[in-house]
Structure 1
């Protein structure tokens, strides 16, 4: 009887030790995973602030007092090192993009055609953009525009006023995700120009100018003065404009990466006021 009791006690002790080992193993695995997660979050935070430092560096460089220190807002890449992170920064002047609220019908049509729409569809989408941004001259015209959207199965009509954001372009009749993705980097609501500034326009926006094509636009961009020490490119700097889109990408030594997109309006250095205003701020690489 005593042997049986000792055997049961031994078995209980063994089970208890096994259970304790399992619990300790689970705790060790949990602690390890939490340590990895904390390390990942720390590195991700480091990368984020390095990318943010790149945005601040660009804002400073765009309005540097010495023209030789200013950056050109035509999309060229500026390298920057911050706290061990490699940061790549590019800036595009909003004046070099196609303004949804001000662009001429020809420029809009050319842009949509270059982005992949056939000529007929490109012209139709361009007209839809103009209808969206234009005030209706009468209740009858507003009703007619709304009826076109209703016939297409939409539960809304055009704004009959200026675009409030670039994202709103997705709601325009005839626009689809593929066409929007192709044109989104090249359109703006902040330039107020009927056509892009050729000095800073990126490829598709430059090629949308009347009389231009992709080959000529590419040649003009290639002919822009390269970035080099002692070469401030004053002609381009003078056409930077005041509103810019900044893309800052930071990469740490272990490959951790963070991307920030910011649209800022420069307001000059004035006592008691901020030198810039943020119009748009986005984390990640999706437009």
Structure 2
């Protein structure tokens, strides 16, 4: 015979090599499966923690709605932005509520109030006047004396592909589209702007500091007196005079592992109406604000 038959030792070597390759492949497959199972487990735990934090934040929102209408006046929450903290389902929850009546309404604020707000935010008088005019132009229907295209031309000259709405603001965020409103100025003003108060001027009993300065004719002495009265009455809800019917509420829930959820809602109270929910949600926002 020209060929030679493999001996028993070489056969055993080949078999051992095949077994080693099979074990290596099996180890790789098992390792991949273990990594996949671990990743899916982490994702499931993360989703569960996120859901738990979310519902704890919702509980904070519901607690605020009740607290702002608590029949025991001395236990009633005050809508001036102060924090209220409690624990719910192993989550730490912090809730703040701000009365919308104390903010500047983009749709109903007078030009003087708008200018006062912009000046309080640091704009020069001419800039404040121009921005106030642009906001009034945005929200006002076109009049018979308007020149067609004149306002749109101003926006086009500034590189905008749109003109004023010529109707009420639908959201607070819409004011970012108004000519003259910058991102930095919007971030500064957003907490004191609203479209839900319907008032020409902020309520001095509920206005945040920046909005308080927008009230026409208010003097430094009056500002000091209002702040002193608020500080004096801060711990007595029956004297605070802060609770209107519409509030912006922020609820932040944090778990022990650091997982957190943020809910922001604007809620209008509807007390005393039989057969309907005692509140209406005007705006709902989840997650951290950009």
Same fold by TM (over 0.5)? Answer: yes
User: Where do 1:16-31 residues align within 5 Å?
Assistant: 16-31=22-37
- Listed as ranges, the gaps of 5+ residues in structure 1 are none
User: Where do 1:19-168 residues align within 5 Å?
Assistant: 19-138=25-144, 140-168=146-174
Distance 2:141 2:86 in 1: 46
C-alpha spacing 1:268/1:127, structure 2 compared with 1 (3 Å): same
8 Å Cα contact 1:198-1:206 kept in structure 2:
yes
Runs of 4+ in 1 over 3 A off after TM superposition: 139-142, 211-223, 225-228
- Listed as ranges, the gaps of 5+ residues in structure 2 are 1-5
After superposition, the C-alpha distances for 1:48-88 in whole angstroms (9 at most, x for unaligned) are 11110010011111122232232111111111221121111
1:223: Cα distance to partner? 4.2
SS of match in other structure, 1:282: strand
8 Å Cα contact 1:44-1:258 kept in structure 2:
yes
1:220: Cα distance to partner? 3.7
Partner of 2:250: 247
8 Å Cα contact 2:268-2:280 kept in structure 1:
yes
SS of match in other structure, 2:83: strand
Distance 1:215 1:182 in 2: 25
Distance 2:90 2:217 in 1: 47
Q: TM-score, normalised by structure 2?
A: 0.90
> Could you say which structure has the larger radius of gyration?
2
After superposition, the C-alpha distances for 1:204-234 in whole angstroms (9 at most, x for unaligned) are 1112223447997577446414654xx3x22
1:157: Cα distance to partner? 1.1
8 Å Cα contact 2:204-2:212 kept in structure 1:
yes
Distance 2:87 2:269 in 1: 24
Name which of 188, 196, 206 aligns with 1:200.
206
C-alpha spacing 1:251/1:170, structure 2 compared with 1 (3 Å): same
After superposition, the C-alpha distances for 1:154-212 in whole angstroms (9 at most, x for unaligned) are 21111111111101101101112111111111100011111111111112111222344
Partner of 2:274: 271
Name which of 239, 254, 259 aligns with 1:256.
259
User: Where do 1:219-238 residues align within 5 Å?
Assistant: 220-221=226-227, 223-224=229-230, 225=232, 228=235, 231=236, 233-237=237-241
